[in-house]
Amino acid sequence: MEGRKDLLVSTIGMEIGDIIAGIRSLPHDNLVLVTDAAMDENASTLAFLRRLGIRHEVLLVDPSDITGSALLIERKVQDHLDKGWRARVDITGGRKLLSDAAMLAALSTGSEICCFEMGARRFPLLTAMGVREALPKDLAEVLRSHEWPMLLGDIQGKGNDNPLPVMLRRLKQMDLVQLEERTVPMICLTKRGKACLDWMKRTKELSGSSE
Amino acid sequence: MVAILGTLGFRANSLLPTLESTPGVDKVVVFCNDHPRALEALTDVQRVCSIMGIQIDRVAMPDAFDLLQAAKAMRQQVHHLKKDGHEIAVFNIAGGTKMMSAAALLVCAMEGLNSVYVHDETYREIPLPLLKVDYSQLLTTAQKEILTYIWTNRAKPMTQVDIALGMGKHKATINHHIQMLEGKNILHLVEDQSDRRRKVVRVDDALELMLEMD
């Protein structure tokens, strides 16, 4: 593993002390500070880091949008992973929503999670924890390309050679769709299904036309 | 039998939307610490549960700032509920300390549970994009055996040769798996404090969570 570069993503609020333990103990070639506060609010924190000679970049996220925040962090991490970097996410600093967003991004990318609230804690994670890795491409396509909800009757009319019914069963096993008895029986997205579809759509928006 | 789980801080409102939106719930398990304001919020939730005819269990969090301990306690509850035949509809992660919320999110991923956040101001529920996946399948049997051996013998620093000898496996096999696991960030090869020529395997306390996936 020698020669592999390390990314450290740290969530930060107004307390610089929260991130120092991570910066000191986790090796990194690039430091990304994730904050939901405007830059000028954090000016003293950032100036302090500059005085210490700690190079960093700042990723500003929207505190009212946990999914959007998670996606921005995920994108930053994934860009590095795609280049062969290793990534760690320190969730000690900042407020709860920020830590949760960073946690989601780490889960989605299989990055190690670290926190220093009560001594050093490091959580190795497996890839395939998140939507990007864990949702098979064919199922993602079905989720993305169909109008929801869909009429059960339409599906029942499909021939045996049509792959859609099998795909829907697989989506049901993953708790992404469910049958609902409305005026007529409909196949609807579950809350989890809606969240995953939202994640995929927003990922696509963030990446522009590259995906 | 349908249960929901929730972390609870100072505001009952972070949990109540999930109680209202989840159909068929007969049990709520709430994780909260002993802070007077958290207990006040708990009383509010208990009152609502009483009106709705829902049983409520409280799991005390002795240390609401220790992510690992919180995750272990939550995981234990998930296993109990599943063993008792409960379907866990959703885990509301909005309340409690930052570390309680993060622990809940981690447990949701590892157990494949639905998770939901509640907006601070609008109290709107925001489902989170975590998939229902059998994460126990993501490590091979051999990798699990090696990790279990390392975890069981973590008190003494071991090289890859020590592990091969201890497990009665070929060194090349162990080396291969160790490399794979190191690539996944699950273990680390570090210099032995007593002999810098030796590289020993180091694992973190949180590995225990991963080994309990089955």
User: Which pLDDT tens digit goes with each residue over A112-152?
Assistant: 889 887 777 777 776 666 777 778 889 899 999 999 999 98
| Residue at a domain's end among A123, A146, A162 | A123
Q: Is residue A130 part of a domain?
A: no
Residue bearing tokens 């609230």: A117
pLDDT tens digits along B89-139: 999 999 999 999 999 998 998 888 999 999 888 888 998 988 776 666 678
Measured CA angle at A118 (ends A7, A60), to 5 deg: 40
For the question of whether the overall pTM of this predicted structure is more than 0.90, the answer is no
Q: What is the pLDDT of residue A16?
A: 78
**Which residues of chain B are in CATH 1.10.10.10 domains?**
137-211
Task: Mark whether A96 and A139 lie in a shared domain.
Answer: no
- Whether residue A32 lies inside any domain: the answer is yes
In the sheet where B25-32 sits, what is the strand order? B55-60, B25-32, B2-7, B87-92, B115-118, B125-127
A124·B205 Cβ contact <8 A: no
User: What does the pLDDT average to over B67-79?
Assistant: 91
Q: Is A80 a member of any domain?
A: yes
Q: Identify whether A62 is part of a domain.
A: yes
Sole residue written with tokens 């000898």: B165
Chain A hits for B132, Cβ within 8 Å:
173-176, 192
Whether residue A143 sits in one domain with residue A181:
yes
Query: Between chains, do A91 and B98 touch, taking CB under 8 Å as contact?
Result: yes
B129 vs A196: CB contact, 8 Å cut-off?
A: yes
Q: Is the residue at A129 inside a domain?
A: no
B128 touches chain A (CB under 8 A): yes
Q: What is the distance in angstroms between the Cα of A69 and the nearest Cα belonging to chain B?
A: 12
In chain B, the residue whose alpha carbon lies closest to the alpha carbon of A85 is B183
Using the 3D structure, point to which of A77, A94, A123 is the last residue of a domain: A123
For the record, the structure tokens of A185 come out as: 């029986």
Residue A1 to residue B204, Cβ atoms within 8 A: no
Q: What pLDDT is recorded for position B66?
A: 87
The CATH 3.40.50.10770 portion of chain B extends over 2-133
Of B114, B204, B205, the CB nearest to A191: B114
In which residue are the tokens 């909005």 written?
B94
Q: Are A110 and A133 in contact (CB under 8 A)?
A: yes
> Least CB-CB distance to B63: which of A67, A118, A134?
A118
More confident residue, A42 or B58: B58
The reply to whether A113 and A53 lie within a common domain is yes
The fold of B2-133 is Rossmann fold (3.40.50)
Predicted pLDDT of residue B31: 97
Quick one: pLDDT at residue B213? Answer: 55
pLDDT of residue A56: 84
pLDDT value for A40:
60
The whole-chain average pLDDT of chain A stands at: 84
- pLDDT confidence bin for B73, thresholds 50/70/90: very high
Same domain, A116 and A56: yes
What is the Cα–Cα distance from B52 to A70, expressed in whole angstroms? 35
pLDDT at B2: 94
Q: Are residues A110 and A162 located together in one domain of the fold?
A: no
Q: Do A123 and B67 touch (CB under 8 A)?
A: yes
**B115-118 and B125-127 beta bridge pairing:** antiparallel
Residue spans of alpha helices (H) in chain B:
16-21, 36-52, 67-83, 98-111, 141-152, 160-167, 171-183, 207-211
Which secondary-structure segment (H or E) carries B32? Answer: strand B25-32
Confirm or reject contact between B180 and chain A (CB < 8 A). Answer: no
What percent of chain B clears pLDDT 70, i.e. is strictly above it? 96
Cα–Cα distance for residue pair A97/B156, rounded to 1 Å: 39
Give the range of the structural domain holding residue A160, as residue numbers without chain letter.
135-210
Q: How far is B7 from chain A (nearest CA, A)?
A: 12
Q: Same domain, yes or no, for A119 and A70?
A: yes
Contact yes or no for A95/A130 (Cβ under 8 A) = no
Which domain-ending residue is among A66, A89, A123? A123
Distance CA A55, CA A49 (A): 7
Domain count within chain A: 2
Residues A29 and A108 in one domain: yes
Contact flag B185-A99 (C-beta cutoff 8 Å): no
pLDDT at B27: 96
Look up residue B214 and give its amino acid. D
CATH number at residue A56: 3.40.50.10770
Is 3.30.565.10 the CATH classification of the domain at B137-211? no
The residues with which A181 forms a beta bridge, in sequence order, are A185
Whether the CB of B149 is below 8 Å from some CB of chain A: the reply is: no
Q: What is the DSSP letter of A117?
A: B
Identify the DSSP state of A29.
S
